[in-house]
Each structure stands twice: as C-alpha cells, then as structure tokens.
Amino acid sequence: MFQLFKNRTGKGKRDRIEMKDINGNPLYEGDMVESFRYDMGSCKIIKDEKGYIYESQKTNKQVSWVKMVDATTKFQKVRKIDM
C-alpha cells in the first residue's frame, strides 16, 4: 500500500558512523588517538548507550565524537596513535 508499516530488519544509514582522523585514517572502537580539542591529550574511543565517546587517559574527561568533527573536512579533530 503506502508502505506505512514497512518492516525494517536491517540497520539504516543513520546507524552507521564512519569516523576518520584528521589524516583520513578510519577510526574504530578501542583505538587510541591524540586529541586536538578540549586539552584532552591521548584518548581512547569507547562506545556506550549514547554512541561513541573519546575518553581522556590523563583526566578521564569524556567528549562525544560529534564535538570533534571538523566542519570543513568532516574528519575528526584527532590523530590516530599507532601502537
């Protein structure tokens, strides 16, 4: 009919978050990064019920990934730390 009651079995595009660091490298949960905002230093990417969060290793401050987006490039204002 009008597909008002469409069965949604899979996740939509809104559920997929593709994060990239300032150099364009993909970021995933558990990665360590160097933050360029909020004086956070090195951070770990964690996921909770609200979404992805950067947690500072030195201050334990938590910041949402949304606040780290660079408006011009759409990349995150962080640099991935290779371990």
Q: What is the mean pLDDT of residues 6-30?
A: 75
b (16+ CB within 10 A) / e for 21-42: bbeebebeeebebebeeeebee
Strand partners, 69: 76
pLDDT surpasses 90 at 16: no
3-state helix, strand, coil in the chain (%, to 5): 10, 35, 55
pLDDT surpasses 70 at 8: no
First to last CA, the chain: 54
Claim: this prediction has a pTM higher than 0.85: no
pLDDT surpasses 70 at 6: no
- Could you read off the pLDDT of 29-83 as tens digits, one per residue? 999 999 999 989 999 999 999 899 999 999 999 999 999 998 888 899 999 998 7
Alpha-carbon distance of 37 to 26, in angstroms, equals: 19
Class of domain 18-80: mainly beta
